[in-house]
Structure 1
Amino acid sequence: MARKAADVYRAGLELDPDERAVVAHRLLASLHWEDKASQPEIDAAWRDEVGTRVDDILTGEVNRSTFEQTRAQARALVGGLRT
């Protein structure tokens, strides 16, 4: 490991687990940025996506489920994979 990388790694170990998770996620995600979009562009895209999903809920475009219904569906799907 290069000296700079080792220094960053050691500094990262001083972070609390939640902060380390954020840093690790961002570093991994940075490996997959094909268009190298800036963080403000990414944030704007997420705001648009969230807005679209909220609009879909408010207009009835999507059906909402309770947690219990969703859990039952997930268990049924997983159970189907096991057989």
Structure 2
Amino acid sequence: MSMNLAEVEQAMLALDRRDLAALIRRGLQALDYGDSEASQDEVDEAWRDELRKRVDDIERGRVETVPLAESFARAREAVAATRM
């Protein structure tokens, strides 16, 4: 039996928080991997490589860091601008 979107949503929202979180995680993984054959180890290694690159960029002065409070303020401004 096939379910339509409204039925899936209703069933999803009836789950307890733990099961809902597990379902969402699995759904996000499906979106992340799509048709990719990449293993979790390959994905993890790609993230480690990206992190190393970003740390190196900071240490070599190729990027400018922003204080956390300023970063949050910019994010709030950007969100507020989309609501107007």
How many correspondences in the alignment?
68
- Listed as ranges, the gaps of 5+ residues in structure 2 are 2-15
Partner of 2:61: 60
State whether structure 2 residue 40 is matched by structure 1 residue 39. Answer: yes
The 1:35/1:79 distance shift into structure 2, 3 A limit, reads: closer
C-alpha root-mean-square deviation of aligned residues, in Å?
A: 2.6
**For the structure 1 residues 80 and 67, does the alpha-carbon distance in structure 2 shift closer, same or farther, using more than 3 Å as the test?**
same
Please, what TM-score do these two structures have when normalized by structure 2? 0.61
CA displacement at 1:38 relative to structure 2: 0.8
* Identity across the alignment (%): 35
- The corresponding residue for 2:51 is 50
Q: How many Å apart are 1:28 and its aligned residue?
A: 1.5
Rounded to whole Å, the distance in 2 between the matches of 1:57 and 1:22 is: 35
The amino acid across from 1:62 in the alignment is: V
Which TM-score applies when normalising by structure 1? 0.61
Amino acid in structure 1 at the alignment position of 2:81: G
**Per-residue deviation at 1:68?**
1.3
2-side partners of 1:60 and 1:22: how far apart? 40
Structure 1 runs not aligned, ≥5 long: 2-12
